[in-house]
Amino acid sequence: MTADLLLTLPVLAPAIGVALCALAWGHPLLQRLISLAASLGLFCASVVLLLAVRDGTVIATQFGGWAPPFGISFVGDMFSAAMVLITGLMAVAVGVYGLVGDVEARENAFYHVLYQGLLLGVTGAFLTGDIFNLYVWFEIMLISSFGLLSLGGTREQLDAGIKYVTLNLIATTFFLMSVAFLYGMTGTLNMADLARVIPTLENQGLVTALALMFLATFGAKAAVFPLFYWLPAAYHTASAPIVAIFAALLTKVGVYAIIRTFTLLFDGDAGYTGPIVTAVAIFTMVTGVLGAAAHFDIRRILSFHIVSQIGYMLFGIAVATPLAIGGSILYVIHHIIVKANLFLIAGVVNRAGGSFDLKQTGGLYRTMPMLGVLFLIPALSLAGLPPLSGFWSKFTVIKASLDAGHIVLATAGLAVGILTLYSMIKIWNEAFWKAAPDQSGQTMRRWQADRRAKIIMLSPVVVLAAITLTIGLFAEPFVDYSLRAGEQLLDKSAYIDAVFGAPAQVTEARP
């Protein structure tokens, strides 16, 4: 298959999904079929893309027949292909899970259209090679997420929506402003062209200032300290499948953008941005995990853990060695699967145990021992216990930081791992281990009787837990792929050559 098709199909599948789901308005069954088919299409296209780039080639395509750097480029390398594949996997898993329970109510409010719109924005953001185009994908992703978050229109959701929408809008507007300044300095928006032009600029001090502006905007998207307040204020109000897909993808797009820009565009002044990112990573990990320790609602505990885990993903940029960047990539991949799975299990706990509030549920291990095991796999993986996927990704980033002499960063990472374990054990003790409260028998019987809901909700959980186990027990190919992807990110010439065809000469900055 040509590069054009390889890079376009993953975006085309959800785009067609959006259009057809909107056309099938009023036919919920048809919408479900289209949505699932589009998600499957995205997954298949992403597998083909990954197979094409896994040997280290970078593929690129230009839209509209414009020669680079004038048109919009799409670029696929090992990192973006892995992110697209994981998006496809989540699209299918959460898409199946989303067919349960109150789906009719959601479908009346454009659920499938918005769901596919979210996937469209995320996939586009992973594949684009143009920084203004990245802004457009961010907006597509955002407006879909606004819709999904306020889908039910309850008082809680409206309140959460206000904070989520306002803070995210400010962040993206700031992003656009940074893009404008970058364009003013370099005269180009193509990321491969920017990578060539930025090192030749005279005023490198301004480049560093601009790098910090991008760090702030993408940091707000990725929910790092001190810009994460929108996340714990909003996530716990959405229904289980929606918050699962949010947790899996939204913040990771911010992390992806940070890693991409700080390896491709702004790697010149690592001595200045490095300590800042290190401090941000430490505070993100610590505040997130402490926030989680204070809560008794499963969704709120897990939301704070998203924040906490983002800190580990910044190790790559803080330490800036190939091993650390590879470790960060492995961490993102592992985290998306584990975190989405935990939110899916939280949905099951709510349905079977009657509440998201840990104080009002319990005894689930007695009635559903298998669910207990299914919870322990992602929970212990999140905390980083061997032999699960979290152990290898934590091991890689912490080894990389110790190798580079970042003792404080490594210590914080290990300490936060223990506190993560504390939160997971709290959920285990309260929801699974302690005696069931008196009134919970009825909801449990209703759950046991509903075979369809059980199959739909538990099959994605089983599949994702199996993947977590696979990454843990057969870590070699996954670690190897991530490390090679990290090395590829540090070698900018492959990316630039892929966009410009043959090795190109550096052109002068166009004011």
Partner 1 sequence: MEPVFALAFGVMVAVAAYLLMSRNVLRVVLGLLVLGNATNLSIFLAGRMGSRTPPLVAAGETALVGGANPLPQALILTAIVISFSLVAFTTVLFESAHRRLGTVDTDAMREAEPEAAKKVPTDRSQAAARKMEPAE
Tell the smallest beta-carbon distance from residue 103 to partner 1 (Å).
Answer: 23
Cβ contacts of 414 within 8 Å, gap of 6 or more: 398
Residue 201 DSSP one-character state: -
* Residue 250 Cβ vs partner 1, minimum distance, rounded to whole Å: 16
Backbone angles phi, psi at 386, to 5 degrees: -70, 155
Q: State how far the Cα of 320 lies from the Cα of 473, in Å rounded to an integer.
A: 28
Residue number with CB closer to partner 1 (30 or 176): 176
Q: Which is nearer to partner 1, 305 or 394 (CB)?
A: 305
Minimum CB distance to partner 1, residue 265 (Å): 16
CA distances from 269 to 88, 206, 259, 277, 508 (A): 35, 11, 15, 12, 21
Question: Looking at beta carbons only, is 150 or 389 nearer to partner 1?
Answer: 150
Q: Which two tokens stand for residue 103?
A: 């789906």
User: Which is nearer to partner 1, 149 or 379 (by Cβ)?
Assistant: 149
- Return the number of the residue (23 or 180) whose C-beta is nearest partner 1: 180
- 81 vs 142, beta carbon nearer partner 1: 142
Give the nearest distance from C-beta 299 to partner 1 in angstroms: 11
Taking the complex as a whole, how short is the minimal distance between the CB of residue 297 and partner 1, in angstroms?
10
Report how far residue 213's alpha carbon sits from residue 178's, in angstroms, rounded to the nearest whole number.
Answer: 6
Q: At what angle do helices 322-353 and 240-264 cross, to 10 degrees?
A: 170
Q: Buried b vs exposed e over 178-188: b needs ≥16 C-beta within 10 Å?
A: bbeebeebbbb
CB nearer partner 1, residue 25 or residue 181: 181
Instruction: Please check whether residue 361 is in contact with residue 431, taking contact to mean a CB–CB distance below 8 angstroms.
Output: yes
Query: Which residues would be at the binding site for partner 1 (CB under 8 A)?
Result: 132, 136, 139, 142-143, 146, 150, 153, 155-163, 165-166, 169-170, 173, 176-177, 179-181, 183-184, 189, 232-234, 236-237, 511
Smallest separation, CB 190 to partner 1 (Å): 12
CA distances from residue 411 to 178, 389, 394, 402, 430 in whole angstroms, order as listed: 34, 20, 12, 9, 29
Smallest distance from partner 1 to CB 300, Å: 9
Helical H segments across 384-440, by residue range: 389-403, 407-427
* Cβ atoms of 382 and 418 closer than 8 Å: no
Least distance CB 237 / partner 1 (angstroms): 5
Q: Residue 121 is encoded by which pair of tokens?
A: 């924005």
In angstroms, the Cα distances linking 9 to 84, 467, 480 are 11, 25, 27
Residue 64 beta carbon to partner 1: minimum distance, rounded to whole angstroms = 13
- Residue number, 238 or 282, with CB nearest to partner 1: 238
User: Which is closer to partner 1, CB of 234 or CB of 467?
Assistant: 234
